[in-house]
Amino acid sequence: MSEHPTDSAAPTSTDPRPTGPGGGRRRGSGRTALSPSRAKDFMQCPLLFRLRVVDRIPEPGSLATHKGTLVHAVLERLYDLPAHERTREAALAMLPDQWEAHREKNPVVMDLFDDPAQIDPWLDEARELVTAYFQLENPTRLEPAERELFVQTQTRDGLLLRGFVDRLDVAPNGAMRVVDYKTGRSPSPRFQEDALFQMRFYGLVLWRLRGRAPARLQIVYLKDGRTLTHDPGLAELETTETKLARIWDEVEDCATQGVFAPRRSRLCDWCAYHAQCPLFGGTTPELPADGVERLLTARRPPAA
């Protein structure tokens, strides 16, 4: 899942990833599902979660998220090429066409530029991120098993989980490595656990789907050229499952009480929902009954 806002239980206008041959975008069962992005939304601010998932209020996104989507598209399509052709020059040559396709699919991105003169420097930043990738991995030596892989499963208590894995590598012995690209900077040690939450989520889903836990979780940070790796144990994946169940317990409590309270944090400065947030003088809309009903489809008792 990337600093592009993906894997949403209820996709919004900031979820513009193009369909790719390694997985593609699919809605799955039609039920609401919990994704790592939306789980983090709820932990950050229940009102943010509600406005995205229950109300489904569109967001324009930011230049940072659109840039992340663009870079992800290039890195995904790089692996369409034969191994010996996966060069930095080939990746950079893809950028103009991918930008054109992204702009056509998401014309709102043009409204985010205050001046057309900002576009070229912004694209230069995307080129720098693509270039940085080649300092971290050698794509001529990799053959990903999956790219943009749609994954979906239920936990033991019937909670539907859903997401998209940027890349899945599978060794000849079957060992799996889950790889996620981030266009931002790597976190300081004190925030690494937060970063690994998303990866453990994917590890849990793949374990439940394939009966085998990934051997490695890897986050590639393009902004500062660092890689965070972690080899998960089954106990921590079980702990992740328990944590997700508790998060959903709280979501259901909020839905039952009709209250998704805002929570102030330093991330509020980047929130697109100030007009709906009472902490910023906004007015929260009435809670939509159909949205609550749809939300509560995420957890169903497991079949006997």
| Average confidence score pLDDT of the chain | 91
Q: Is residue 190 part of a domain?
A: no
Q: Is residue 270 part of a domain?
A: no
For 252-265, what is each residue's pLDDT tens digit? 999 999 999 999 99
Q: Is residue 88 part of a domain?
A: yes
Nearest by Cα to 149 from 131, 134, 132, 169? 169
| Tokens 């849990």 belong to residue | 204
What's the full length of the chain, in residues?
304
Task: Report how far residue 245's alpha carbon sits from residue 16's, in angstroms, rounded to the nearest whole number.
Answer: 28
For 34-67, what is each residue's pLDDT tens digit? 999 999 999 999 999 999 999 999 988 899 999 9
Q: Is residue 123 part of a domain?
A: yes
How many domains is the chain partitioned into structurally? Answer: 1
Number of H helices, E strands in the chain: 8, 5
Q: Is residue 106 part of a domain?
A: yes
| Mean pLDDT along residues 18-28 | 37
For 167-216, what is each residue's pLDDT tens digit? 999 999 999 999 999 999 999 998 999 999 999 999 999 999 999 999 99
User: Is 280:274 a contact under the CB 8 Å cutoff?
Assistant: yes
User: What pLDDT was estimated at residue 20?
Assistant: 32
Question: Sorting pLDDT into bands at 50, 70 and 90, what band is 13?
Answer: very low
Question: Sorting pLDDT into bands at 50, 70 and 90, what band is 304?
Answer: low
Burial class (CB in 10 A: 0-12, 13-18, 19+), 40: middle
Residue numbers of the domain that contains 64: 60-137
The whole model's pTM is what? 0.88
The strand order across the sheet containing 176-182 reads 146-154, 160-170, 176-182, 216-221, 226-230
R_g (Cα) of the chain, nearest Å: 19
Q: Is residue 223 part of a domain?
A: no
Q: Is residue 130 part of a domain?
A: yes
User: What pLDDT was estimated at residue 17?
Assistant: 37
* 235 compared with 301, residue with greater pLDDT: 235
User: What pLDDT was estimated at residue 301?
Assistant: 83
User: What pLDDT was estimated at residue 29?
Assistant: 58
